[in-house]
């Protein structure tokens, strides 16, 4: 995994999933820069941000079958505890849906 590029991708995806609130986007930005000095802490922070991003729009996301399937895939990838291609792909599919 190319860490900085993948973290940039996650930051963009999280921004798309949320209501684009300033505090959330600031935390995404800070975490992106944290990855340069402490990738482990940055990965942990991204999991927290991802869970936070999915909590708010959950009802809206699970209202249709296709969105519910993508939402469940993202939740499953988050529960695996691995910051990898599975999580990035699941977030991309959810964004497209």
How does pLDDT run across 9-42, given as a tens digit for each residue?
666 666 665 555 778 778 888 988 888 899 889 8
CA 67 from centroid of its chain's CA atoms: 15
pLDDT tens digits for range 43-86: 888 888 888 877 766 666 666 777 778 888 888 888 877 767 87
Each domain of the chain, given as residue ranges in start order, spans 3-92
pTM (predicted TM-score):
0.60
pLDDT of residue 37: 92
What's the helix, strand, coil split of the chain in %, to 5?
80, 0, 20
Is residue 91 predicted with pLDDT exceeding 70? yes
CA 37 from centroid of its chain's CA atoms: 20
């Amino acid at each position: 995994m190319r860490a900085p590029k993948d973290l940039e991708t996650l930051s963009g995806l999280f921004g798309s999933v949320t209501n684009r609130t300033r505090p959330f986007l600031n935390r995404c930005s800070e975490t992106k820069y944290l990855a340069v000095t402490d990738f482990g802490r940055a990965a942990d922070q991204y999991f927290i941000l991802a869970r936070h991003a999915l909590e708010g729009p959950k009802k809206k996301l699970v209202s249709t079958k296709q969105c519910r399937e993508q939402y469940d895939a993202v939740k499953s990838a988050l529960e695996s505890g691995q910051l990898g291609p599975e999580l990035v792909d699941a977030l991309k599919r959810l964004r497209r849906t």
